[in-house]
Amino acid sequence: MDIEKILRRSDELDDTIVKLLDLDHYPEYRDDASRMDLSVTAASLSIDHARALRLLVAGGFVSSAAPLMRLQFEATTRSAWMLLAATEGHVALAAAPLSAEADEAARKLPAAREMIKQLRNASAAMPAAAAPAAMLGRFEDMQRHALNSFVHGSIHALQRHKEGFPVQLVHQLIECSNGLVTISGMVLAILTGDRVLMARMNRVHLGFEDCLTPMLPSY
């Protein structure tokens, strides 16, 4: 598969998820509105990061696209955690109006690894947390070090920018980003409370195996 084709198929996956969610008629929240709003916002941010990643790849800026997937992973994790595992105190910290004091207080919010741990713990009482916890945990285990290297301009970033990215590695980057998009889609489906939609979203990967990878590979 060439890069243009996988980018096109990724756009088609994105379109399919958006159509399934019917975002123009997405429900308004009455109960626990702050939690719901934060989860939706983080999922939307994740999808935007994925779209930006694809634009960077299409423009030939793969060295800039790779660290963006770390941001996408963080936003995806935050979305699932906020909905399924965050405490009311966490929600209050994240929902506070932006100020120097709120920024300082928000530093107490957990990082990705701790959020995934809390999602795993929550899955006993909330089965919907199990799939995001497993998928995000696998991603974090396999991708964390390389993506941190790209973010901080360390060895992966320097050597890949100097030597170039093999086509297969670019494929993997896009495939992993698409995997995070599907998780965001799952969270957004859960937020609607529509079990039919949730079931359909859990099968959205079918037919898109050519632009998704079931085993999130490492760099």
Q: How high is the pLDDT of residue 200?
A: 92
pLDDT along the chain (219 residues), means of 10: 92 95 68 86 95 97 93 96 94 94 93 94 88 88 80 84 89 94 92 88 91 57
Q: How high is the pLDDT of residue 139?
A: 86
Q: How high is the pLDDT of residue 156?
A: 82
Please tell me the pTM assigned to this model: 0.90
Beta strands in the chain (DSSP E): none
Cα distance between residue 116 and residue 81, in whole Å: 7
Q: How high is the pLDDT of residue 217?
A: 39
Cα distance between residue 154 and residue 87, in whole Å: 35
CA neighbor of 173 nearest in space, from 70, 47, 43, 42: 70
- Residue 74: C-alpha distances to residues 53, 55, 81, 163 (Å): 14, 20, 10, 28
- Element spanning 57, H or E: helix 33-58
DSSP letters along 70-124, please?
Answer: HHHHHHHHHHHHHHHT--HHHHHHHHSPPSHHHHHHHTTS--HHHHHHHHHHHTT
Domain ranges of the chain: 3-211
Cα distance between residue 200 and residue 217, in whole Å: 26
